[in-house]
Amino acid sequence: MVFLVLANKAAYLLDPPSKRLLSYALRHSDISLNRGIRGVHHSGSKPWVDVFKVRNARRTIVDTRESLIPQSRRLKHQSTMENCSPTPNGVLSKAAAFSLPSDLDSLSLSTFDNLVTKGEIIYEPSTSETVEDQGFKVSEVNGTFSITRMLWGR
Amino acid sequence: MKTNRLHVFQVNIRLAPHLRRKPITPSDAPERKTGQGRNPFLNPDPNFVLSPVGPLHLLLLNKFCVYRPSLLLITKHFEQQSDDLDSGDIAAAWAVLKQYRQRYMLIYNCGFESGSSQGHKHMQLWEYPDEEELGFELFPNKADSEVDVASDIPHVPLKHFVLRLPPNADASTVFASYEKLVREVRRCHAEADGGRAYNVILVKEWMCLIPRRHSGLDRGAGANAAAVVGLVWITGQVERDIWTIPGPAEYFRHLGIPA
């Protein structure tokens, strides 16, 4: 887990390291860069952020230690860290760093159905057929299957 | 399915007339460069939003749907649909794919010629199709290596690049695979037409990139990433004829770069 701590005012998750994420963090902080971000890199197994010429910042720290996160921010990130688990090489799972609803499957379906009912989502059940490129229609997907010669065959 | 015609190129053509109502932002529209103007993703209807995905992405429901449900993973701030995915995009995509209990697939149409309808960076997701019902296996499933890029899967009529993903892959691994595949796409385009557009299809087991030359709108039947792995959406008979009169393989060669 990698966090960027800026002037003791904000901690941002940089997992995976991303120039765009760093830009976002800086936009929402009270510091600015006068020469931008040089890069976000992996060095061995430890990602690091290469920032230079930071203005108006009392300190800029990039570290992998969770202890650097201020308490208030630690609470903010807690839910994102709960699901992390070490991988065999000791690096925390990066995909697990996002906090998503645990019932995403049912939430997706119920919200979808609700919006379809309201007419806000444009959806109608569709029919399909599987075709080959040698002149046969192979299947009709409406419960039964058949094979029919087509006129467009080659 | 019932035919075992494993050595014949097959596609599934799905009739979805309601897609006629879906707007397509022209390739030269300023919205594709600036995000301003008619951009449904810049401040999406909150009723459609399912969840933030990290600080930079939103997961929401698609307004124009072929499958139940159809989802979008968008960047909160405007980024161009013609940009490559970056590590943050891949991490968000991977987190969402892993979170669904059902098997989902994710696509990204990079550039107008890849079949993208909007200029604001967005990925699309829906449940992986039932291959028994389709009657064939999506061809990227046939790739067998996590290291060596598969680019010659038999009977696929257009250039394609596929890597399997290791079990328990993390976002870094997926991004590394993506970068490897993008290099192949760049090389392929450079040798063929100098274009940049391509499709991404990502599932937990593999990632496939397909370089694109034409959106299909030039011939009257647009095609996105789903189409070029065999999941074709049409709105009516005219589009069906465009696909089937020359034959799907011939149309694929027009959309992509002939294999």
pLDDT of residue A125: 87
From A107, A133, A145, residue closest to B2, measured CB to CB: A145
Q: Do B111 and B82 touch, CB atoms closer than 8 A?
A: yes
Residue A91's pLDDT band (boundaries 50, 70, 90)?
very low
pLDDT of residue B30: 76
DSSP-derived 3-state class of residue A55: strand
From B11, B13, B171, residue closest to A94, measured CB to CB: B171
Average pLDDT over residues B39-48: 91
Lowest-confidence pick of A3-12, B98-107, B185-194: A3-12
pLDDT tens figures, B186-205? 999 999 988 999 999 999 99
What string of H, E and C letters represents the secondary structure of chain B?
CCCCCCCCCEEEEEECHHHHHCCCCCCCCCHHHHCCCCCCCCCCCHHHEEEEECCCEEEEECCEECCCCCEEEEECCCCECCCCCCHHHHHHHHHHHHHCCCCEEEEEEECHHHCCCCCECEEEEEECCCHHHHCCCCHHHHCCCCCCCECCCCCCCECCEEEECCCCCCHHHHHHHHHHHHHHHHHHHHHHCCCCCEEEEECCCEEEEEEECCCCCCCCCCCCCCHHHCEEEECCHHHHHHHHCCCHHHHHHHHECEC
Cβ A97–B91 below 8 Å, yes or no?
Answer: yes
Number of residues in chain A: 154
Residue B120's pLDDT band (boundaries 50, 70, 90)?
very high
Residues of A in Cβ contact (< 8 Å) with B99: 100-101, 104
Cβ B55–A121 below 8 Å, yes or no?
Answer: no
What per-residue string of b and e applies to A64-81 under the rule 16 or more CB within 10 Å gives b? beeebbeeebeeebeebb
Looking at every residue in chain B, the average pLDDT score rounds to 92
Cβ B175–A147 below 8 Å, yes or no?
Answer: no
What would you report as the CA-atom Rg of chain B, rounded to the nearest whole angstrom?
A: 17
pLDDT tens figures, B9-20? 889 999 998 887
- The rounded distance, in Å, linking the Cα atoms of B85 and B70 is 20
Residues 6+ apart with CB under 8 A from B47: A115, A120
Lowest-confidence pick of B24-38, B157-171, B233-247: B24-38
